[in-house]
């Protein structure tokens, strides 16, 4: 047998055992070498007729195979390489399918993407029940689709359900995969999967067991595919993203012809997808997610965080309530909240309402009463503050109020208590002046509604110590937020990026570009809502006040609308829009331009995107952030920037905009 780094082969009592074990990797994934080695191995086995069967098993304790290596996919640049790579894959799978003996995939742990496609090319599949045994084809979630035969083998095996599983990228535990017909047998968590696979093989060879392989009637595939397409377009708000669209095409066209022809269709669709900017963007978002999923991995190496056994929040308003919700449900520690006496009962009632809503949607592991019992409500600095580990301040956005609060607070909390401010616009360095031991003071900027928005900006003031930043990252992990760390800057990262986006949008409508057109251009770009609607929802007075306080002259249209008392349809009943979502005709006379200005969607998108990028460049040049990924994480999880674009900076790199504007890419890869 040929020497292989990724596969081991041995024979035990006429049964060949292939063990997949990619060296120095926590998970088995397909790399170029791995595919070639597998092809050579099955090429040698193809000639053998002395075996009863073969078992494919993983050398890792809780991972069968996690599919294609995404770095490999992201690096693919030309069509021929993609097609050649796929040919290697299919030639290996085809050889395996033509063995004179059965092949059993023995699945222990993750069996995903190209890993499941490998298992699907086996005669049968047996899986061990375990929390890590999840089975599915999640490729569409990262902007591609199953290109190793998945769009052809799965529908032929289980019927129309495959369409939903592939498009949603759903993963199933072993028992559900058995129910769906993907797996043939499930064994208990304590079972020896290899021994069970040998028994299963014996039963198949001796015909004691018959595998269920019903011929699937796929004659209605056109209707099913159209329904699936409409479903996808609903989620993408009408945008035709290559991954799911071409997955649908591959399934729809592929199941109508022979398997061999179907694979050719899949191959061509896959090449189109994998070379698309959206696939590369989607993969980047996946990497950003992995990077920010574990905030503790962003702490200094070897750092031992301060235990968070008790927390406090100052201010029981909109943000205070949201922050408390996260502390209670995620950390389950006592939380003190301080506000003026009149704010306490309304605060408690609002908090309970949020928690009740979560309980109804089964989002809480602990009864609401138990969580509410952890809350200590006060309007005084009571003794409970004496052993608090972290305080998050969310009082009025007024430097004087905040300064007073810090002075009093520092009298009572321990010297090493972490102090965090949720300010949205006051520099952390300025606020730190009123804090005793300012090295333990840090900005923690949450987004509203706090329990839904995953992003947390951690702001390092001039005096903030690295230890405090690390403790803030530990806090982010404890409340399960996705953090980015930045230095002091007006608007930090996300609001700094949104600022020119808003002002330029307002300038455009001031010059006569219809409101609907500006918004539509950006929703077509992939933003969840258009900029003018976003301003209306946030409160039209918010950017107005922010500009005034920064000494920036607000666009005339903004001034006119705010001065007319129109702060947004939710905030004051009147804004740019009516309740039904259409533009309020009353706002039109407040727009200075009397004639319509014609601009294409692309021109609007280019202009607004460029304005954001200019700020991003400054954020990096001035070292507000050290890594373009921080900006992209902020924009994807703080504003809903389209995940298939991989974040604004990745998108600028992929589409050549960064090189055109600044002569180089943001990412150095
Ligand atoms: P809010 O007005 O809803 O709540 C502020 C609360 O602070 C009120 O209940 C008030 O009674 C209380 N308060 C005032 N002075 C106090 C004091 N001396 N001691 C204790 N409590 C006091 O305001 P919101 O929206 O919750 O904002 C709070 C902070 O969060 C501000 O710094 C704001 O800039 C920031 N922020 C707000 C966001 C939002 O979307 N509303 C987003 C991110 C940050």
DSSP state letters, 537-554: HH-THHHHHHHHHTTPPP
Write out the CATH class of domain 306-487: alpha beta
Looking from the CA of 342 toward its CB, the CA atoms found within 13 Å total 0
Res. 441: pLDDT tops 70? yes
For the question of residue 445 being annotated catalytic, the response is yes
The answer to whether 139 and 113 have CB atoms below 8 angstroms apart is yes
| Residue ID of nearest Cα to ligand 1 atom 16 | 395
Structure tokens at 491: 């608007």
pLDDT tens digits, one per residue of 341-360: 999 999 999 999 999 999 99
Residue 3 — pLDDT band, cuts 50, 70, 90?
A: low
Return the pLDDT at 1: 59
> For residue 319, which of 402, 429, 393 has the smallest C-alpha distance?
393
Whole-number Å distance between alpha carbons of 126 and 627: 44
pLDDT tens digits, one per residue of 24-35: 999 999 988 999
Residues with CB under 6 A from ligand 1: 314-320, 338-340, 343, 394-397, 401, 405, 422-424, 445-446, 448
Percent of the chain with pLDDT strictly greater than 70: 100
Return the pLDDT at 2: 56
pTM score, whole prediction: 0.93
Q: Which of 90, 110, 445, 622 is catalytic?
A: 445
Residues in the chain: 669
How many beta carbons lie within 10 A of that of residue 203, not counting itself? 15
> For residue 537, which of 510, 571, 564, 505 has the smallest C-alpha distance?
571
Average pLDDT over residues 138-164: 97
Average pLDDT over residues 645-657: 98
Distance 566 CA to ligand 1 centre (A): 22
Pocket test for ligand 1, best of 347, 351, 394 (most atoms within 8 A of CB): 394
Res. 211: pLDDT tops 80? yes
Mean of per-residue pLDDT scores for the chain: 96
Whole-number Å distance between alpha carbons of 344 and 337: 9
pLDDT tens digits, one per residue of 592-606: 988 889 999 999 999
Res. 53: pLDDT tops 60? yes
Return the pLDDT at 548: 84
Looking from the CA of 598 toward its CB, the CA atoms found within 13 Å total 0
Return the pLDDT at 232: 96
Q: How far is CA 192 from CA 14, 189, 401, in A?
A: 19, 9, 65
List the beta strands (DSSP E) in 334-440: 335-338, 375-378, 390-393, 418-421
pLDDT tens digits, one per residue of 449-476: 999 999 999 999 999 999 999 999 999 9
pLDDT tens digits, one per residue of 280-310: 999 999 999 999 999 999 999 999 999 999 9
Structure tokens at 544: 């107005």
Res. 557: pLDDT tops 70? yes
Sequence ranges of the domains in the chain:
7-275, 306-487, 494-603
Res. 170: pLDDT tops 90? yes
Pocket test for ligand 1, best of 312, 318, 402, 452 (most atoms within 8 A of CB): 318
The answer to whether 364 and 376 have CB atoms below 8 angstroms apart is no
Res. 664: pLDDT tops 60? yes
Return the pLDDT at 595: 87
Return the pLDDT at 327: 98
pLDDT tens digits, one per residue of 256-285: 999 999 999 999 999 999 999 999 999 999
Q: Which CATH number fits domain 494-603: 3.40.50.300, 1.10.1040.50, 3.30.230.70, 3.30.70.20?
A: 1.10.1040.50
Pocket test for ligand 1, best of 379, 396, 491 (most atoms within 8 A of CB): 396
Structure tokens at 498: 């949104």
Distance 413 CA to ligand 1 centre (A): 20
Distance 316 CA to ligand 1 centre (A): 7
634, containing H or E segment: helix 628-639
Whole-number Å distance between alpha carbons of 21 and 223: 42
| Residue ID of nearest Cα to ligand 1 atom 20 | 339
Distance 653 CA to ligand 1 centre (A): 38
The DSSP 8-state label assigned to residue 305 in this structure reads: P
Instruction: Show Cβ contacts of residue 112 under 8 Å, excluding neighbours closer than 6 positions.
Output: 65, 66, 67, 134, 135, 136, 137, 138, 171
CATH of span 7-275 = 3.90.226.10
Average pLDDT over residues 155-180: 97
């Amino acid at each position: 047998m040929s020497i292989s780094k990724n596969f081991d082969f041995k024979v035990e009592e006429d049964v060949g055992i292939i063990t997949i074990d990619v060296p120095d990797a926590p998970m088995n994934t397909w790399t170029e070498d791995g595919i070639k080695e597998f092809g050579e191995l099955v090429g040698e086995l193809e000639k053998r007729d002395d075996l009863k069967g073969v078992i494919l098993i993983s050398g890792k304790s809780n991972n069968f195979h996690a599919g294609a290596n995404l770095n490999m996919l992201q690096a693919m640049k030309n069509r021929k390489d993609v097609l050649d790579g796929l040919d290697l894959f299919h030639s290996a799978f085809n050889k395996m399918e033509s063995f004179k003996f059965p092949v059993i995939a023995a699945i222990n742990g993750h069996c995903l993407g190209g890993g499941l496609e490998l298992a699907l090319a086996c005669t049968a599949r047996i899986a061990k029940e375990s929390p890590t045994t999840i089975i599915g084809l999640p490729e569409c979630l990262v902007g591609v689709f199953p290109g190793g035969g998945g769009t052809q083998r799965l529908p032929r095996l289980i019927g129309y359900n495959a369409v939903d599983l592939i498009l949603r990228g759903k993963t199933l535990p072993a028992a559900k995969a058995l129910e769906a017909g993907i797996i043939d047998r499930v064994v208990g968590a304590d079972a020896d999967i290899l021994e069970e696979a040998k028994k299963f093989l014996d039963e198949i060879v001796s015909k004691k067991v018959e595998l269920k392989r019903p011929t699937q009637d796929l004659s209605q595939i056109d209707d099913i595919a159209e329904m699936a397409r409409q479903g996808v377009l609903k989620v993408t708000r009408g945008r035709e993203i290559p991954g799911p669209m071409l997955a649908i095409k591959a399934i729809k066209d592929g199941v109508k012809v022979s398997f061999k022809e179907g694979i050719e269709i899949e191959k061509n669709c896959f090449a189109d997808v994998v070379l698309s900017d959206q696939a590369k963007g989607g993969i980047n978002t996946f990497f950003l997610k992995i990077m920010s999923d574990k905030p503790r991995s962003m702490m200094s190496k070897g750092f031992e965080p301060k235990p968070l056994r008790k927390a406090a929040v100052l201010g029981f308003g909109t943000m205070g309530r949201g922050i408390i919700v996260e502390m209670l449900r995620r950390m389950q520690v006592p939380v003190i909240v301080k506000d003026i006496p009149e704010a306490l009962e309304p605060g408690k009632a609002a908090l309970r309402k949020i928690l009740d809503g979560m309980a109804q949607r089964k989002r809480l592991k602990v009864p609401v009463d138990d969580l509410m019992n952890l809350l200590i409500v006060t309007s005084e600095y009571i003794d409970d503050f004496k052993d608090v580990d972290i305080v998050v301040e969310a009082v009025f956005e007024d430097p004087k109020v905040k300064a007073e609060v810090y002075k009093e607070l520092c009298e009572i909390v321990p010297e090493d208590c972490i102090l965090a401010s949720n300010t949205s616009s006051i520099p952390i360095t300025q606020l730190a002046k009123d804090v005793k031991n300012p090295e333990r003071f840090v900005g923690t900027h949450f987004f509203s509604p706090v329990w839904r928005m995953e992003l947390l900006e951690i702001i390092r003031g001039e005096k903030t110590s690295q230890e405090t930043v690390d403790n803030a990252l530990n806090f982010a992990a404890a409340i399960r937020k996705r953090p980015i760390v930045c230095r002091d800057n007006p608007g930090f990262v996300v609001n700094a990026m949104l600022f020119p986006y808003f002002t330029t949008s307002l300038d455009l409508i001031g010059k006569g570009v219809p409101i609907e057109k500006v918004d539509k251009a950006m929703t077509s770009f992939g933003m969840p809502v258009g900029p003018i609607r976003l301003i209306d929802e946030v409160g039209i007075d918010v950017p107005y006040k922010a500009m005034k306080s920064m000494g920036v002259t607000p666009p005339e249209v903004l001034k006119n609308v705010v001065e007319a008392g129109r702060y947004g349809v939710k905030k004051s009943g009147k804004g740019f829009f009516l309740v039904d979502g259409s533009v309020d005709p009353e706002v039109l006379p407040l727009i200075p331009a009397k004639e319509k200005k014609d601009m294409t969607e692309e021109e609007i998108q280019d202009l607004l995107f460029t304005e954001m990028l200019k700020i991003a460049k400054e954020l990096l040049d001035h070292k507000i952030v050290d890594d373009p990924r921080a900006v992209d994480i902020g924009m994807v999880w703080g504003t809903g920037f389209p995940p298939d674009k991989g974040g604004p900076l990745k998108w600028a790199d992929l589409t050549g905009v960064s090189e055109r504007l600044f002569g180089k890419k943001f990412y150095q890869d």
